[in-house]
Amino acid sequence: MFASKTEYDRGVNTFSPEGRIFQIEYAIEAIKLGSTSIGVRTPAGVVIAAEKRVPSVLVIPSSMNKILEIDHHIAAVMSGMVADARILVEHARVEAQNHRFTYNEPMSVESCTLATCDLSIQFGESGGKKKTMSRPFGVSLLIGGVDEAGPQLWQTDPSGTYTRYDAQAIGSGAEGARTILTERYHRNMTIEEGENLVVDILKQVMEDKLSKDNVEVAVIRTDGAKLDIYSPDTIQRIIERIAE
């Protein structure tokens, strides 16, 4: 079936005879080429973490943010094409600000997730006044946040689908990470257990040796609903903790 396949897979919006749109499936492959990101929901908050692929000792690791703030109470961690993620997160930020301005309340995490997906599914469209991408976004986001419905973790993908998870991993190490999550995650973890879990998983699935400079960790605590991106020192303490 390979020959047949290649005839349908370059049109961004062409169905194959089996009813598939290959460019969306290929965009999903782009995510698998990306660095690994993980999120877990605990009653006390959402912990998100990501691998950073630091190309050189001369890089300033803090400039390679994988964790991006959307609003005080919502953050995204990404796997896949960096610039695509920035477009989606920038769009979510604007929507979240508009929501605050219009309704004088924080946007819900689900609405914020939906806003990024609405942008995702418009690729390849023309006409109308809004500019759209001419291809699917090659990125998946884990969006963590806290709102009236409590702490939540959502995943988006290039097809514009979004799903809520207790714990999820994306990127090149996702398969291994999900196996560990299934084994070790439980719903009543403390924040500290969550931190330990995500950093320990990254330690196992990353090709490079884990250090305080090549991972990012952040938490949005239920109490206060505020994003806290950990400093390298804090991350170092988690690394030491799990090494014990």
Residues 44-103 that bind a copy of itself (CB under 8 A): 55-60, 62-64, 81-84, 86-87
State the CB neighbour count (10 A cutoff) for residue 171: 25
Q: For a copy of itself, which is the closer residue by CB, 22 or 230?
A: 22
133: Cα separation from own chain's centroid: 20
User: Cβ closer to a copy of itself: 159 or 236?
Assistant: 159
Interacting residues with a copy of itself between 147 and 166 (CB under 8 A): 154, 159-166
Residue 180 touches a copy of itself, criterion: CB under 8 A? no
We find the least distance from the C-beta atom of residue 176 to a copy of itself, in angstroms, to be 14
Q: Which of 154, 202, 157 is nearest to 176 (CA)?
A: 202
Q: What is the DSSP letter of 231?
A: P
User: Residue 55 or 244: which CB sits closer to a copy of itself?
Assistant: 55
Backbone CA torsion sign across 120, 126, 128, 131:
positive
SS3 144: strand
Cβ nearer to a copy of itself, comparing 23 with 196: 23
Residue choice 102, 103, 104, 129 for contact with a copy of itself (CB under 8 A): 129
* Closest by CA position to 200, among listed 12, 46, 47: 47
